[in-house]
Every structure is written in C-alpha cells, then in structure tokens.
C-alpha cells in the first residue's frame, strides 16, 4: 500500500462527497419535499383569518429545487472532506482493514455519531412545528448532543484499542460498543427533552418527515462510503496485477 497523502485523499473525499450530496438531494426531493409542502399547507390553513406573512425573496419552488440542490451538494462536499481526513487517521489504526472497509467503517461511524444518535434524542420536525421563541435553546441542545456523541464515539474507539491486546479485536469491539450505547443512554437521560408538537398536528406526517430526514442522511453516508472506498483504493493500492502479467509473459 502506498504512503497516505492527505491532500490526495482530501480531493477524493470531496469528490465522493459531491456524489453523496447528489444522492441526498434526490432522496430529499423525492421523499422530503412533499412532506414539507404538506406541513406548510397545514400552517397556512391554521393561520387563515390572520395576517399572512409576505413571501420571501426566494420562492418555494426555487427553494425546493436549486436551493435544496445547492445546499445538499455543499453539505456533501464539506463533510466529504472532513470524512477523508478522518479516514487518513483511521487507516491502519482501527484494525487490518483495507481502504474500502476503512471507508465504510468511517462513513458508518460518522453517520451514527453525527446523525443517528442526535436524531434519536432530538428528531427533526417539519415546518409549523416548534415554538419560534425556543429555537435557540433547541439548536443549542442539538449541537450539544452532536458534540457529546462525537466525544463518546472517540472514547469508545480508544477503549476498544486499549482492550484489543488482551481481549481480542472482536470482544474489545463488543465491549466498546456496549459502553458507547450505555454512555449515550445516560446522556439521553440527563439532557432535557423537547416536545413542542401540537396535539392536532398529524402524527403520520411527522413520522414520514422524520423517516425522510433519516433517509437523506443514510443515502448520503452510504453513497460516500462506497464512492470514497473505491476512489481511495485506486489511489492507495498499486496496480500490481498488470505489471505481474507483463513479467510472466516476458
């Protein structure tokens, strides 16, 4: 395997992130936008008879297409670069895994710590759900949950590495995973809950919106893991087979 070049892998990570952002956009447009439109329609129906807010400078149609596409692509490229740097550190340090397996593990770990764990505590809500006066508090709690999840994930990784020489890789990984789950459960118990869903808001719409949100992140990190694993392997593993074939025929 070739020496790791962070710059080389950073570019490939951002390229894979671009593919991941495109996949996230497709899922968001197909599954998520209809739920957003339905929530906006409910909000408008509930505000009938009251003063209507003027439409912003960007139309809803533009938000759902060009705005959504630009946002998801930039999001994918940014996190693709971050994930590539994490890959540079992880390769060879979390076990004897090749580039593809390491990329899959990095993508899975980032999905769990950055998206799944915070989502299970503070799930996303469609428009018209949530008190505008508590948006700062809710955002702070969500960011805090992300930070705690990342720190606990790093701690679980360190614990697994320290236990591996005496327990073996598999047993150490199981213990570290259980410790991570237990620590996350404690964080869930101590952090305040947020439930501002109106009683008359359709539960089915909320459930579908949250599944769509989780599906967007799943599509993004799955696409990134597959694409970056392929690109990283092409960059790091020399093409030895053609050279060997030439030597055998000479």
107-159 confidence digits (pLDDT tens)? 999 999 999 999 999 998 887 776 777 888 888 999 999 999 999 999 999 99
Contact 102, 18 (CB under 8 A): no
Please state, rounded to an integer, the average pLDDT across all residues of the chain: 84
In whole angstroms, how far apart are CA 83 and each of 11, 86, 90, 229? 11, 5, 10, 11
Average pLDDT over residues 63-80: 87
Decide if pLDDT at 185 tops 50: yes
The pLDDT score that the predictor gives to residue 250 is: 45
Contact 21, 194 (CB under 8 A): no
CA atoms within 13 A on the CB side of 192: 8
Contact 14, 80 (CB under 8 A): yes
Average pLDDT over residues 185-200: 88
């Amino acid at each position: 395997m070739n020496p790791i070049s962070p710059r080389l892998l950073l570019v490939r990570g951002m390229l894979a992130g671009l593919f991941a952002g495109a996949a996230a956009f497709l899922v968001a447009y197909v599954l998520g936008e209809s739920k957003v439109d339905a929530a906006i329609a409910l909000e408008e129906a509930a505000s009938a008879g009251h003063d209507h807010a003027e439409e912003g400078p960007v139309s809803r149609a533009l938000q759902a297409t060009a705005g959504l596409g630009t946002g998801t692509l930039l999001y994918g490229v940014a996190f693709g670069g971050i994930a590539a740097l994490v890959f540079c550190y992880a390769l060879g340090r979390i076990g004897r895994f090749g580039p593809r397996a390491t990329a899959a593990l990095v993508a899975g770990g980032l999905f769990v710590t950055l998206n799944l764990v915070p989502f299970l505590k503070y799930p996303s809500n469609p428009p018209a759900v949530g008190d505008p006066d508590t948006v700062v508090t809710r955002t702070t709690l969500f960011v805090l949950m992300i930070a705690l999840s990342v720190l606990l994930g790093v701690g679980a990784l360190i614990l697994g590495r320290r236990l591996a020489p005496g327990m073996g890789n598999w047993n150490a990984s199981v213990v570290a995973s259980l410790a991570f789950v237990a620590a996350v459960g404690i964080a869930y118990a101590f952090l305040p809950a947020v439930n501002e869903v109106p009683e008359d808001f359709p539960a089915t719409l909320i459930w579908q919106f949250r599944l769509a949100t989780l599906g967007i992140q799943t599509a993004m990190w799955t696409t990134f893991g597959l694409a970056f694993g392929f690109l990283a392997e092409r960059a790091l593993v020399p093409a030895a087979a053609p050279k060997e074939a030439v030597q055998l025929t000479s």
